Structure formats: structure tokens, C-alpha cells
Amino acid sequence: MSATTVPPQPDSSTVTKRVTSRGSKNGQHRRLGGWWLPYALLAPAILFELLIHIVPMATGVWVSFIKLTQIYLRNWGAAPFVGLGNYSVSLDFNSAIGKSLLNSFLVTCGFTVLVVGISWGLGMAAAVALQRAFRGRGLFRTLFLIPYAIPIYAGIITWKFMFQKDTGAVNHLLFDNLGLPGDKPFWLIGDNAFLAIVIVAIWRLWPFAFLMLMAGLQSVPQDVYEASAVDGAKPLRQWSSITLPMLRPVNVVLVLVMFLWTFNDFNTPFVLFGSTAQPPAGDLISFHIYNASFLTWNFGTGAAMSVLLLLFLLVVTSAYLLFVNRRSKRA
């Protein structure tokens, strides 16, 4: 192990000789060592990726083609091969399994659009509001980053307490303090659960958007704004004509990363709804698959659902990157 983590040091004199003899042609990168050096540098990363990501993933894909239930769990090799059977069960939207998967998928789509959209909006608003120096700016910046720094489960558990019907802060605020009419509603069961999980996820995610956008804004030179102000541009117009285009590289990455995190979110429903009672309105897809696998011991269909989820994410991501690249070429 240790032999691979520390790549051997190349003999420097030969390196220099080779570099000077070859020189750099047309911006081609110079070789600082033997052809194997980059591979040696990558080797530890590749090893761990294979061990933890790739091989288990390949195994998971294989599982999606076999009928892995409790009877075969002890001896996977004996599980019968069912071809695309697990997939057709998952995608048969007339059956109970397919219908609930579809419901979960739609819930997740709505969840993702709302959470990513609103988080981005809040992050942008905060970043712009704190763009110019004023007294107390550092305080706000520090404060806004706290939800991001708090361990995920600690933040979600706090919200779970706040969403309790009779003893929670949310109902107390809405009905006792603000005097909303009617009875205090449930937040963690029934349809309100969707709202609850969206709020929690935004609370957790928006500081990240804020952080990235704030970092991005620091590279926008102040004099650009001043020049456009002289031209009579209003703040909103400045934002759309200067800020937004300058932040494009950040936004391209930010939106993608937030999309992937939110769509795959497992922790929020797991901690918020507990491991036994999940309302259909908050049945996010990762959590749905987890339950389909572990609660009913039906790992074959669970794996098939995961592979479908992965394919969906791959397609969306590729389309997104294609779209983004084409636009940047045109621009």
C-alpha cells in the first residue's frame, strides 16, 4: 500500500534533459517525468475509487438483474437471474410498486425544483445584499453560514422538534403569535409534510448557494458597476447585465451540484420523518428505494430502481452540460 501512495521521485537530471531536448510544441504540456508518472500519481485515487465506488456500483447493477430476496441473501450466487424482470416491475405503473415509485419520483422532482430554485434565489439575494461593504457585513456573513456548518442531522432534528403539532415552534408562531385562524395543523404527516421537508432542505442548502455566489462576486471588479452607473443603469439592470453574466461559470457548477445533492437527498427524510412513518408527500426517491430494499428485503427491485435513478441523473446531467456548452460556444 505504502509503495503506491508515495510515487518514486524521478531522477531530476534526465527529466531536465528530456524537457530541454523536446521543448514544448504548440502549448503541449511538458513531461516532467516518465510516461508512468501521472498514472502513479493517480494510482491511489483510482484504487480507492474502485474499491468504494466502482466495484460496489457494478455489483449493484448486477443485483438489479437477479431476484435477491431474503431466501438468497445468504448466497447471492444462487439467486435466479431475472433479466429485466426487476425493471419491468418497477416501471409497471399499474402495479402498486410502480405507482408508488412514480409518485416518489414526481414528489422528488417538485422537491428538487423548489429547493434548488429558492435556495439559489435566497443565496443570490444575500450575496448581492452583502456585496458592498457596510458595518456589520461580516456578522451577517458569519451568521448565514451557520446552518451550513451545523452537522446535517443536528439541524434536521431541530426542525423536527419545531414542526411538532402541539409543542412545536412553527405552530406557536403562526397561531399563537401571529393569530392565524383555525386549528394547528400537522406538519410531519399528511400533505404538509411536503412543505416541511422543502423548508428544512432550503434552510440547509441556501447558505451553500450564498457561499459560492459570494465567492464568485468577489471576482467582479467594482469599477464595472461604477462605469455602468455613470451610464445611468438601474440596480436591477446592473444585476442582469453585469452580475449574472459574470457569475455564469459559478452558476453552471452550482446549479448542477445542488441539483444532484437535492435529488439524491436521503438524510432529510430519514431524520425528519423517522425510519418508520413516512408520509407519501415527503417520500423522496432515495429514501423510497432504501425502504423498498431494506424493509421488504427485496434488494433486486431496489437495485433496479437505483439504476433507473442513476440513468435519469446521467441523462439530465449530460443534457444540461451539453446545453450549457453549446450556449457558451454561441456566446
Contact positions with another protein (CB under 8 A) in 155-174: 155, 157-159, 161-162, 164-169, 171-173
CB of residue 250 to another protein, shortest distance in Å = 6
CB 65 within 8 A of CB 81: yes
- The window from 103-111, 222-230, 322-330 that contacts another protein (CB under 8 A) reads 222-230
Number of residues that bind another protein (CB under 8 A): 147
Query: For another protein, which is the closer residue by CB, 176 or 326?
Result: 176
Residues 128-157 that bind another protein (CB under 8 A): 128-129, 132, 140-155, 157
Q: Which is nearer to another protein, 109 or 314 (CB)?
A: 314
Q: Is 294 in the site for another protein (CB under 8 A)?
A: yes
Q: In the complex with another protein, which residue's Cβ is closer, 237 or 327?
A: 237
Nearer to another protein, 112 or 155 (CB): 155
Which residue stretch of 106-114, 204-212, 323-331 sits at the interface with another protein (rule: CB under 8 A)? 204-212
Of residues 49, 84, 113, 327, which one binds another protein by CB under 8 A? 49
Binding to another protein (CB under 8 A) within 90-119 occurs at 95-97, 99-100
Cβ 326 to another protein shortest distance, Å: 19
Out of 82, 107, 114, 188, the only residue in the binding site for another protein (CB under 8 A) is 188
55 in contact with another protein (CB under 8 A): yes
The 3-class secondary structure across the chain, one letter per residue, is CHHHHCCCCCCHHHHHHHHHHHCCCCCCCCCCCCCCHHHHHHHHHHHHHHHHHHHHHHHHHHHCCECCCCCCCCCHHHCCECCCHHHHHHHCCCCHHHHHHHHHHHHHHHHHHHHHHHHHHHHHHHHHHCCCCCCCHHHHHHHHHHHHHCCHHHHHHHHHHHCCCCCCHHHHHHHHHCCCCCCCCCCCCCCHHHHHHHHHHHHHHHHHHHHHHHHHHCCCCHHHHHHHHHCCCCHHHHHHHHHHHHCHHHHHHHHHHHHHHHHCCCHHHHHHHCCCCCCHHHCCHHHHHHHHHHCCCCHHHHHHHHHHHHHHHHHHHHHHHHHHHHHHHHC
Nearer to another protein by C-beta: 74 or 330?
A: 74
In the complex, the smallest distance separating the C-beta of residue 113 from another protein, rounded to whole angstroms, is 18
As a whole number of angstroms, the distance between CA 68 and CA 65 comes to 9
Q: Which of 102, 242, 290, 320 binds another protein (CB under 8 A)?
A: 290
Residue 42 found at the interface with another protein (CB under 8 A)? yes
What is the nearest approach in angstroms of another protein to the Cβ of residue 258? 12
Min CB(216)–another protein separation in Å: 6
Phi and psi, residue 277, nearest 5° = -105, 100
CB atoms < 10 A from the CB of 111, how many? 24
Examine residue 84 and tell whether it contacts another protein (CB under 8 A): no
Residue from 110, 180, 244, 297 binding another protein (CB under 8 A):
297
- What does the alpha-carbon distance between residue 78 and residue 258 come to, in Å, rounded to a whole number? 40
Residue 197 near another protein by CB under 8 A: no
End-to-end CA distance of the chain: 48
Cell triple for residue 223?
469599477
Per CB under 8 A, contacts with another protein among 225-284 are 225-226, 229, 234-236, 249-250, 253, 260, 264, 266-267, 270-271, 274-280
